[in-house]
Amino acid sequence: MSTLSISIIVAFVLGYALIAMESLTKINKAAIALLMFVCCWTLYMINPASFIQIMHPDFKGVGQEVITFVNEVITRHLGDTATTLFFLMGAMTIVEIVDQNGGFNWVKNVMQTKSKRSLMWRIAFMTFILSAILDNLTTSIVMIMILRKLIRNHNDRLIYASLVIIAANSGGAFSPIGDVTTIMLWNAGMITAVGVISEIFIPSLVSMVIPAFILQYMLKGDMESDVEKIVESEVSDEEFGSKQRKVIFIVGVGGLCFVPIFKSITHLPPFVGILLVLSVLWTVTELFYRHLHRKNGGNQNFAKRVSNIMRRIDMSTILFFLGILMAVACLQEIGLLTQMGGSLNDIFNENHYAVTGIIGVLSSIVDNVPLVAGCMGMYPIQAAGDMAVDGIFWQLLAYCAGVGGSMLIIGSAAGVVVMGLEKITFGWYMKKITWIAFVGYIAGILSYWVIRNFLLTTPL
């Protein structure tokens, strides 16, 4: 390995370490990710010809032709990254529109019960389902807000919050739109919507049910009798009426469910479908506001208009993914990921259950986005076998990278946000919850092995 390659790897590792220590450095991880991306590619440009000879042996250009070719390579990687980023931006905007218009208030009503254990199962399944339709991060925030209304005892709420993390990650793993990593794999054509849902649903469900079954024994008795009653927001605070809010909910959530169908019909990339849903929802709300302007008169400015809601989208998260994915692309272009993929296969004798299982454990320590991006660079799609579309490796990678993040509270976006909202300490979670999440994780892998060997031996 050349000195230049080592320098690029060191730049990536240092950047990654700073991202992991964001809570200590107080530097936003998006800033570090972007700096890491630029540093890696700047080092690459010191002598790009040496890397091109390895990764693109068919290219025979020299001088300025090399520079032009590298720019084309970077542009191609940026295009692949942009499909994921635009999908995320569209999905985040749609969810925000629905939420701001009271679309998730109904969830609060179905959660109310007197039994603590009954509430736990309701929360588990509701989180599991919502995270598959929305995403695990948004679902976690919604469920924690609801728990704060229902549970006054902080110790009990920590247990419920831990289950929210597990259920959100499990629910996102079997859906092509439920987690960033599944979105990445689906965008790249490594899994299909039908394939990941049909094969990973049961393992994901198992990885949620078993921890919920164990956690329920940490709760005893009934809910406090003076629990705050949850009520709908006053109609006067809403810009739209009840019927209009229902239409927004149906168009938004129904549209998210329609995206995989749109892709299968048109064969267009998933981000096109999500932008279609956003444009339709945006148009519908604009028609509603047009009616309000006619009714109220004047040039009243409505706070929940889509153009205003879009300002609330977390652009730092989008830029973080941009930096990470482009930095990983640089590692791919120096040949590191290919070497690592071959080494893992050699060590585990091409046992992809072991390889993906280790990746899942690693995803609880470091962010699963660069891990999955790295695997996508290490292992190209093959025509047949475990590496084919919907092959065992890609399906297990979707499951392990998503569910594995539940083993440590810093291992997933859902865990990090719940950690901040409920002030859960790393040590408490590791002592009380880690082993429970690990049991569910292993049980899900075993259930997948049973499915692929005895029930569903070939993809649908």
Q: What is the pLDDT of residues 205-247, one digit of tens each?
A: 999 999 999 999 888 777 664 444 444 444 445 667 778 888 8
Please report the DSSP string for 441-455 in residue order.
HHHHHHHHHHIIIII
CB atoms within 10 A of CB 61: 13
Residue type, 52: I
The pLDDT score that the predictor gives to residue 287 is: 87
Per-residue pLDDT band at 140 (split at 50, 70, 90): confident
Q: What are phi and psi of 222, to 5 degrees?
A: -110, 170
Domain span at residue 255 reads 87-177+218-224+241-311
Report if residue 165 sits inside a domain: yes
The pLDDT score that the predictor gives to residue 232 is: 45
Per-residue pLDDT band at 283 (split at 50, 70, 90): very high
How many secondary structure helices (H) and strands (E) does the chain include? 22, 0
Question: By 3-state DSSP, what share of the chain in percent is helix, strand and coil, each rounded to 5?
Answer: 75, 0, 25
Report if residue 159 sits inside a domain: yes
DSSP H or E segment with residue 124: helix 116-133
- When divided into structural domains, the chain yields a total of 1
Report if residue 103 sits inside a domain: yes
SS3 call for 433: coil
Q: Are 333 and 73 in contact (CB under 8 A)?
A: yes
d(CA 278, CA 306) in angstroms, rounded, equals: 10
Residue, of 262 and 240, whose pLDDT is higher: 262
d(CA 419, CA 427) in angstroms, rounded, equals: 11
Highest-confidence range of 131-140, 295-304, 437-446, by mean pLDDT? Answer: 437-446
Please check the confidence at residue 354 and state whether its pLDDT lies above 60: yes
Highest-confidence range of 7-11, 92-96, 221-225, 298-302, by mean pLDDT? Answer: 7-11
The residue with tokens 């809010």 is: 245
Q: What are phi and psi of 295, to 5 degrees?
A: -75, -45
Locate 316 and state its tokens: 């730092």
The pLDDT score that the predictor gives to residue 366 is: 63
The pLDDT score that the predictor gives to residue 238 is: 62
Residue type, 6: I
Q: Are 460 and 192 in contact (CB under 8 A)?
A: no
Q: Are 211 and 119 in contact (CB under 8 A)?
A: no
Residue, of 180 and 204, whose pLDDT is higher: 204
Report if residue 336 sits inside a domain: no
Quick: pLDDT tens for 151-183. Answer: 888 888 899 999 999 999 999 899 888 887 888
Locate 333 and state its tokens: 């272009």
d(CA 424, CA 208) in angstroms, rounded, equals: 20
First CA to last CA distance, the chain: 42
CB atoms within 10 A of CB 64: 8
Sign of the Cα torsion 89, 94, 95, 100 reads positive
Cross-strand partners of 222:
115
Locate 230 and state its tokens: 């949850």
Report if residue 449 sits inside a domain: no
Locate 56 and state its tokens: 């693109």
Per-residue pLDDT band at 433 (split at 50, 70, 90): very high
* C-alpha separations of 374 from 43, 339, 368 in Å: 19, 11, 10
Report if residue 246 sits inside a domain: yes
Q: What is the mean pLDDT of residues 126-153?
A: 82
Q: What is the mean pLDDT of residues 47-60?
A: 87
Report if residue 441 sits inside a domain: no
SS3 call for 366: coil
d(CA 79, CA 73) in angstroms, rounded, equals: 10
Report if residue 339 sits inside a domain: no
Q: What is the mean pLDDT of residues 383-387?
A: 77
